[in-house]
A and B are shown apart, each in its own frame.
Chain A
């Protein structure tokens, strides 16, 4: 081997390793920055109280409005998305399985749907709301985020269902089951852990999204009591507080960022642990 080839090999081995290290470092640095900045402001008060008077000028209170709002919103959206995603995923794998081209077409389409940015979902939902004269509300937010995360959920469920052998389906039919019974009794049971992962992934995506709720869910200092109340969300709470020139308010934004990051990390790690155990 000539020296040049040897050097080239060495050079790229080292270069790629360094770049990989850099990438890991930068991503770790994000977590480090958020935690080190926000940890000092994190307190029980922040986690448990609604904003008090003058909150955005540095007054007392906490962000429970945003934490609770985000959970309501993401849970509602996940449930809604699940209700429409499950039939679609089952339909694809039971009814369309014999039509290869159609199957590919539908999967392709869902992947494309996944790529539409959340700001467009938000803007579109907003026009619908104006058309029907609806106000910003938890309910509107749930529907918008639900539509945003459903394609993710469908594709994740689809990936799980894909792995179930077609023989199982045929065995079920040969015992006299209808397609529906096969779908819900056989497929559902087989794929349950995978489904839990799919739902959690979509939930994680939903709770972190800001652009779609900006238009639809509104913002308020109170924990919403019903679907027609507007609701605060963590991403927007972070965003608004960070926009303040007052340091205490900014610090609370960092604390809120820790809360959000923590929730999302917990969810995605749980999702992966579940899937691995299967």
Chain B
């Protein structure tokens, strides 16, 4: 079975207008292509991400989900072998155009990674780091925000007595919540989460998932996962990717209950 034939016949132009009626778009990706030296990693991606919703990027590993996520805050800059073209608009600014200050664009997005990577400093400083970079100098404001964001991820009560100890001594679940809080502290519009529970035990995973459901009231969340059940629990919208292409995109209910392509049907049936 050739993969090509399973892709829905939507014109590339039309793909861009797949905005669900009634949703406010925050992120608009048009004709995004990513190539490395000898492979095309992302092919003609068109995607509009709606505000205050959880959009899940779903697909088997190696399909380009993580690369797509890294394009959104241009961490792809770190990999000089990657060539990007197309556009990614946030607030009407095309972040790929190079006209805008990338450090400010990155502050519009908080990143949560597969494994927690606490910065090599105290719990307090982990949160304060982004604030100081934003130029906030006043101690009282910083303390206030540290507390606020640690509460936001339900970590405050667990760590309030040891804010000055090294973040690396926290449990891995706590570390991941700290990393989430660290990202929230710069007050982003969007949270980019790359398989945020893959290194965690089931209980910590649940805590993170619950956080996400709460956080979507204030933030837009883009979540990469390959866990089908997690996608079902969290997703408002689902983007199903396969070999660097978006195969299907739509509201979660539609995608899970009424898949159009054979490849997605197969994926949902096997369930991984």
Per-residue B-contact encoding for A1-20, CB less than 8 Å = 1, 0 else: 11001000000000000000
Q: In the assembly, what is the distance between CA of A5 and CA of B103, in Å?
A: 11
Residue in chain A with minimal CB distance to B104:
A1
Contacts of A2 in B (CB 8 A): 135
Q: How many residues of B contact A (CB 8 A)?
A: 4
Contacts of B266 in A (CB 8 A): none
Within 8 A of A (CB), among B68-110: 101, 103-104
Contacts of B101 in A (CB 8 A): 1
Contacts of B135 in A (CB 8 A): 2
CB distance from A6 to the nearest CB of B (A): 9
CB distance from A146 to the nearest CB of B (A): 43
Q: In the assembly, what is the distance between CA of A5 and CA of B132, in Å?
A: 12
Q: In the assembly, what is the distance between CA of A223 and CA of B104, in Å?
A: 72
Q: In the assembly, what is the distance between CA of A264 and CA of B265, in Å?
A: 65
Q: In the assembly, what is the distance between CA of A172 and CA of B135, in Å?
A: 62
Q: In the assembly, what is the distance between CA of A103 and CA of B38, in Å?
A: 42
Per-residue A-contact encoding for B123-143, CB less than 8 Å = 1, 0 else: 000000000000100000000
Per-residue A-contact encoding for B188-208, CB less than 8 Å = 1, 0 else: 000000000000000000000
Q: In the assembly, what is the distance between CA of A5 and CA of B104, in Å?
A: 12
Residue in chain A with minimal CB distance to B102:
A1
Q: In the assembly, what is the distance between CA of A2 and CA of B136, in Å?
A: 12
Residue in chain A with minimal CB distance to B103:
A1
Q: In the assembly, what is the distance between CA of A2 and CA of B101, in Å?
A: 10
Contacts of A5 in B (CB 8 A): 103
Q: In the assembly, what is the distance between CA of A1 and CA of B105, in Å?
A: 10
CB distance from B79 to the nearest CB of A (A): 19
Q: In the assembly, what is the distance between CA of A54 and CA of B250, in Å?
A: 95
Residue in chain B with minimal CB distance to A2:
B135
Q: In the assembly, what is the distance between CA of A59 and CA of B103, in Å?
A: 70
Q: In the assembly, what is the distance between CA of A80 and CA of B18, in Å?
A: 75
5 nearest CB pairs, A to B: A1-B101, A1-B103, A2-B135, A1-B104, A5-B103
- 5 A–B contacts from the bound complex (CB under 8 Å): A1-B101, A1-B103, A1-B104, A2-B135, A5-B103
